[in-house]
Structure 1
């Protein structure tokens, strides 16, 4: 008796009750932390691993006292905006929003200074400024003042004066940034080998404090956004109102994940229940596999809660995938068990069960390993959510295999199913017809495969990675509607920062009068760069050339910089640009209560940096982020002459683009790793390079077909669809392993290739059909998501699995018949 049979006959199956008690204890332990299961849709969860752009993004926000932690409420009244009634209603809405507990401040057309009501001068800016809030300014006068101000159009008010915005600030406590900075310092010390046990202990404490603070901030954000939405609902009868902003997008993304987890989990379970009932028509064949599927997901969620490993937008699919993959394993066992029942109807159930497990553990083990390799290959992508997804599925598949070969047989031992008379009655399965087509139309099968390969290759050459973030969401979602409104009426959605660093002053030997030229009073050429301030005529002239260039790009919406502030001051100065002397006194001329609006966001004298804040129009036709960023960098360093090290591009646009541009590289890496690993395992499993090659080809065709279809349809690669090809190969190769393994068994009976093919199609082919059908329809559940990449992921993966099934039932046997890798036959 083999060790495996001895394990099942003497240890596991005789004591099913004790095994389930032990398993229940494990399940109970995992359940203790299931409430710590977390969801994450933050910017940090959507960046490349170790992407320096994230550190630059945080650094720029701190230096210039800016943040993306604000909500945008767009307000388009049914009547004209600039009337006493509408302005009063807008003020009421603003006040209610400002009264919400976590809101730090609000900014709107009601509180910003008006420049022409009355006309101001530089000498009266701190005493004569009027606002709609504080002063009785006629509505039409206010309208003209707002639209003629360089700052406000396409920012707080649309160019037609009918749509306005309220910015609702949600301040982040300084402790958050302190923890991030300390974490970076401690991590760098440990990576450099300069740390000690105390450093590592402190790092653990900082990580715990950061996680705790993040959880508190997330809960506060969700409560705040719920209150904001409730407030807005009270004003929708009189205006078209949309909510936008990074915090709202993050909150809604998490809500989408929660809905996807519940919808996909319950939807897949319901579908599996129906599928099992229709196919097997015995309650034991429904209850036992569903319990195994549920236990797998329960253990994984509990484990993720224990280690506080959050689920992102990408890895939210792991619930549906684990359910489907666990069911795939159990279906193969169920079909094989029923075959043994058919062959030996009078055998003891335990004997039938042991024979089933002994026959299936080897192909199922290789099946699990290849699928683990497919998901594990995602860990080389360099994209954090994709990496997390790969590790989660790798661990989950290991748990699914344990469920299939430990818990499944124990449950079946307690609930032995009777012989299904329909199985004993025989019949011709649908898969038998695929064998007939392969046998009689073998040339046509090869021709179709070659044609499909060529067409797929042409489609792959058309693949792109450039896509619009707004198109990730259905048009019915508030995210989509809000982004479109902001994009079209209020100056764009996606933020981009361009930071220019001043070059250091040359060494003058300590003589402050080394130059006879005073840049405050005259044009000193490059000598102007020697003064330790940005407020010189020559420096501002160069910054103006940058501003004008950025503002002139068709992809950019609102562009703000110190030049915008100077334009405002020029308006105040009776339309005359500031001269060199007036420019030098700008910091003193701007009132203290306006410096945080007009100066601090754009100039950091301490760090010798000037900042241009840009919002890109995400709906701009032909938007190509990578090309645009390269164009901006080339122009600033080439045409405008800034040294490359003095130009920094950062912000959400840069981080998102870095992720997009890594997709092609990641796709090549993941596919290459998958095929290399599978080829090695095929050689080990089948001990034949011919069988290894035959097994690889149908799977390559399935992966190529789905990528080719995406190319022909113009669907770009994104965070979700990048995983389709690798996952397809990993799952589709399961059919290849099972089919070749069974074909070899059948071939040994009479050394007939054609007979082995028909028998394999009638047996393992049936299990392949059931599992593939389950996977295809299971993935179709993903179309219920509000996240379009998830929908594409479900549809394209389902299509790929269909191609893989057709390849396994036609091309694979045709190649076996053609090459005859098992030696001579009696055919």
Structure 2
């Protein structure tokens, strides 16, 4: 016996109360930071680790006074919108929303300028503009004015004039951006190795302040959204009302995560409780495993609180996974303990437990290590929440193993020994039926597995990552209904910004443009300040071509740019396009109160940039974001002659697409690397190439079956289901390891492959079936989620585990019988 084994034996079996006391101290320490356990559904939680898309997104929003920090309230009365009753109700609703402390301003058809006055010209635009709020405008006139305006249709009012929207702006404090900018600057200096001790302390302080401010803002915003919903409920009997907007999506995502963590955690515990009662029928075998599962989750949650690692929608299932995987370890221990009880009923409880630990520590260690390798593959994804998820599960599995071999035996020792359950004479377990099938129909098993493998490969070839964000939520949820109305009636939901930089800047000291033949109001002349502006005919004409191209795409809804402003001014100018001189003076021509609406969101002269805001129709069948983004960039550079460095695509669409593409690349294409790593581990563990290859076969089939099924069913990969393959590999190898280890152990008794297979199916096969059933039952609770990817995650992981069990009970033993990796059978 090694020194470590002697120490373990003396500590656990000699001083169980001391072990329990020390563990209680660890639990108390972990609980000190449980209150800092937090959730995150921000845009930052869905971007690549080194992706500049988020920084570009924030920069563009600051430069162009554009932001996604607003709620959209859709309003559709039962009858006509432009009636005194409907407008009065809309005004009352708007006023209640505007009175909220967190609301900076609101935009609606009530306060936007109406361009219908017969005296309205470019010279009188400031004095002749009227609004429904401040002027007695006939409602039919207002309706015609709003619909004929190039800015408002599909933005604040639907084209059928039946639905309108209130934009509720929730401004972010400047301190947020100041802290963010300072934090990013210090991080860049730290990465470059330019930060001294004072700088590191400042980075730590600034990061803490930013986290605290973000948490406060998030809490206040969630409270505001709850208040907005309460206000809307008072008006739902008078109109069809829905709530949308990025802040609401983020708040609802956090609500769904909280619900998943609590509901599924409790739900899985109840399911596991019932499963343990049905399987073992002894209260000790119910209490001890549940305590071990609870302790594992407690410690991981406490560690996340200490480290301030937020849980995102991607990692929100870590509670369910840890509960299930800890239970899997304890079930194997229980089944083996009961085997020793039946084989040697005269031995003491200490002896049964010592034999159990000695027999199971190696396969369970192998199982934990290979599962940790599978989850460790998530750390290569490049997306911070996925990386954190990988580390969370790796840490959780290590704790699950330690608790199973420290706390489990201690609790069993301190409780009365469970009574031995007698098996009915001559009764064979159900798992032995699979041994008979494998023995009699071995060729059919191999042929069926080969056909299934081919079908899996064909299905995997059909996989894609494109999906509708709207379809992430059940159709009866407000988030789905609100996004659908905005998508179909008000110009689309997914924002995309195309920013074009004017790279041709004038050099200081260049000559007077009026001294040449070049007209500076029309062309980019070789000198002079007028060249340092977007407001020349030539530049605005190029921007108009971009606008028209984007507006003509079937995937786009509302498109807004400086072209929209020019068309609006042309309408004011008696439907005559502005001439070159008028174009040059547009910035001076616009009233100060209209500049934030018509100018600054689209032109930034300081940074020589123009922005075109696009919203995509997310519910459009067959929407391929990645292909669309490539198509837009290619058209702008190849057809419209912009240089590649002039064109920047940003916004939520770009960040979301980058995340999906990265997940696809890092998980699907590196799945072979994961299998290679596990095969190498099998080589180290079993010291046999034959056993390593045999062991990997059913796991390949299990992972391939779930991905192939998704491909055949046309279900795209998303932020949740993309991880099913790695998780399946991680859990499925457990059955393989336990079966091969037990087969090697049993084979030494009589060197009879067929008899050994039957004994393995009757013993370890039963434990494998119990664990798989508990996993499948545990994951089935996820179908109650409002988040569709979570539902798919539960269903496909359960299916994958079923396929892994079938492979371990049929294909794996058939390959062992065929290859005979343990040497020749006894004659």
Q: TM-score scaled to structure 1, two decimals?
A: 0.98
Change (3 A) 1:528 1:657: farther
User: Aligned pair 1:652/2:652, yes or no?
Assistant: yes
Secondary structure of the structure 1 residue equivalent to 2:436: helix
Residues in 1 aligned to 2:66 and 2:44: alpha-carbon distance in whole angstroms:
18
Equivalent residue for 2:726?
726
Change (3 A) 1:740 1:416: farther
User: Aligned pair 1:185/2:185, yes or no?
Assistant: yes
Change (3 A) 1:294 1:371: same
Residues in 1 aligned to 2:4 and 2:772: alpha-carbon distance in whole angstroms:
29
Residues in 2 aligned to 1:554 and 1:649: alpha-carbon distance in whole angstroms:
18
Q: Any idea what the Cα deviations from partners look like across 1:29-64, whole Å, max 9, x if unmatched?
A: 111211111000001001111111111111101110
Is the 1:467–1:716 contact (alpha carbons within 8 Å) kept by the matching residues of 2?
Answer: yes
Residues in 2 aligned to 1:624 and 1:39: alpha-carbon distance in whole angstroms:
30
Secondary structure of the structure 1 residue equivalent to 2:614: strand
Residues in 2 aligned to 1:17 and 1:803: alpha-carbon distance in whole angstroms:
42
How far apart are 1:319 and its partner, in Å? 0.3
Equivalent residue for 1:400?
400
Change (3 A) 1:80 1:284: same
Is the 1:117–1:137 contact (alpha carbons within 8 Å) kept by the matching residues of 2?
Answer: no
User: Aligned pair 1:290/2:290, yes or no?
Assistant: yes
How far apart are 1:803 and its partner, in Å? 0.6
Is the 1:520–1:584 contact (alpha carbons within 8 Å) kept by the matching residues of 2?
Answer: no
Q: 1:542-557, aligned counterparts within 5 Å?
A: 542-557=542-557
Residues in 1 aligned to 2:733 and 2:53: alpha-carbon distance in whole angstroms:
38
Residues in 2 aligned to 1:326 and 1:814: alpha-carbon distance in whole angstroms:
29
Is the 2:506–2:527 contact (alpha carbons within 8 Å) kept by the matching residues of 1?
Answer: no
How far apart are 1:520 and its partner, in Å? 4.9
Equivalent residue for 2:775?
775
Equivalent residue for 2:643?
643
Residues in 2 aligned to 1:709 and 1:257: alpha-carbon distance in whole angstroms:
27
Equivalent residue for 1:789?
789
How far apart are 1:518 and its partner, in Å? 5.2
Residues in 1 aligned to 2:662 and 2:367: alpha-carbon distance in whole angstroms:
29
Change (3 A) 1:524 1:694: closer
Is the 2:442–2:814 contact (alpha carbons within 8 Å) kept by the matching residues of 1?
Answer: yes
Is the 1:504–1:530 contact (alpha carbons within 8 Å) kept by the matching residues of 2?
Answer: no
Equivalent residue for 1:47?
47
How far apart are 1:503 and its partner, in Å? 2.0
How far apart are 1:162 and its partner, in Å? 0.7
Change (3 A) 1:481 1:323: same
Q: Any idea what the Cα deviations from partners look like across 1:233-282, whole Å, max 9, x if unmatched?
A: 01000110000000000000000000000111011000110000000000
Residues in 2 aligned to 1:690 and 1:621: alpha-carbon distance in whole angstroms:
48
Q: Any idea what the Cα deviations from partners look like across 1:630-666, whole Å, max 9, x if unmatched?
A: 1111111111111111011110111111112223311
Residues in 2 aligned to 1:658 and 1:12: alpha-carbon distance in whole angstroms:
50
Secondary structure of the structure 2 residue equivalent to 1:95: helix
In structure 2, stretches of 5+ residues that fail to align are none
How far apart are 1:423 and its partner, in Å? 4.2
How far apart are 1:730 and its partner, in Å? 1.0
Q: 1:491-502, aligned counterparts within 5 Å?
A: 491-502=491-502
Equivalent residue for 1:121?
121
Change (3 A) 1:46 1:199: same
Residues in 2 aligned to 1:745 and 1:359: alpha-carbon distance in whole angstroms:
10
How far apart are 1:511 and its partner, in Å? 2.2
Is the 1:520–1:580 contact (alpha carbons within 8 Å) kept by the matching residues of 2?
Answer: no
Equivalent residue for 1:581?
581
Residues in 1 aligned to 2:768 and 2:522: alpha-carbon distance in whole angstroms:
83
How far apart are 1:14 and its partner, in Å? 2.1
Residues in 1 aligned to 2:790 and 2:308: alpha-carbon distance in whole angstroms:
24
Is the 1:517–1:524 contact (alpha carbons within 8 Å) kept by the matching residues of 2?
Answer: no
Aligned length, in residue pairs? 827
Secondary structure of the structure 1 residue equivalent to 2:695: helix
Equivalent residue for 2:818?
818
Equivalent residue for 1:350?
350
In structure 1, stretches of 5+ residues that fail to align are none
Secondary structure of the structure 2 residue equivalent to 1:719: coil
Is the 2:282–2:419 contact (alpha carbons within 8 Å) kept by the matching residues of 1?
Answer: no
Change (3 A) 1:223 1:433: same
Change (3 A) 1:555 1:477: same
Is the 1:529–1:539 contact (alpha carbons within 8 Å) kept by the matching residues of 2?
Answer: no
Change (3 A) 1:289 1:198: same
User: Aligned pair 1:745/2:726, yes or no?
Assistant: no
Secondary structure of the structure 2 residue equivalent to 1:78: coil
Equivalent residue for 1:605?
605
Q: 1:324-723, aligned counterparts within 5 Å?
A: 324-423=324-423, 427-507=427-507, 509-513=509-513, 516-517=516-517, 519-521=519-521, 531-723=531-723
Secondary structure of the structure 1 residue equivalent to 2:323: helix
How far apart are 1:309 and its partner, in Å? 0.7
Is the 2:37–2:302 contact (alpha carbons within 8 Å) kept by the matching residues of 1?
Answer: yes
How far apart are 1:385 and its partner, in Å? 2.0
Q: 1:256-267, aligned counterparts within 5 Å?
A: 256-267=256-267
Equivalent residue for 1:150?
150
Q: Any idea what the Cα deviations from partners look like across 1:715-764, whole Å, max 9, x if unmatched?
A: 11111111111111111000000000000111100111111111111111
How far apart are 1:507 and its partner, in Å? 4.1
Residues in 2 aligned to 1:435 and 1:522: alpha-carbon distance in whole angstroms:
85
Residues in 2 aligned to 1:289 and 1:8: alpha-carbon distance in whole angstroms:
21
Residues in 2 aligned to 1:737 and 1:763: alpha-carbon distance in whole angstroms:
14
Q: 1:12-91, aligned counterparts within 5 Å?
A: 12-91=12-91
Q: Any idea what the Cα deviations from partners look like across 1:133-189, whole Å, max 9, x if unmatched?
A: 000101111000100000000000000001000000000001111111111111111
Residues in 2 aligned to 1:65 and 1:73: alpha-carbon distance in whole angstroms:
21
How far apart are 1:677 and its partner, in Å? 1.7
Equivalent residue for 1:806?
806
Of stretches 416-425 and 666-675 in structure 1, the one that deviates more from structure 2 is: 416-425
Residues in 2 aligned to 1:657 and 1:348: alpha-carbon distance in whole angstroms:
61
How far apart are 1:285 and its partner, in Å? 0.4
Change (3 A) 1:426 1:344: farther
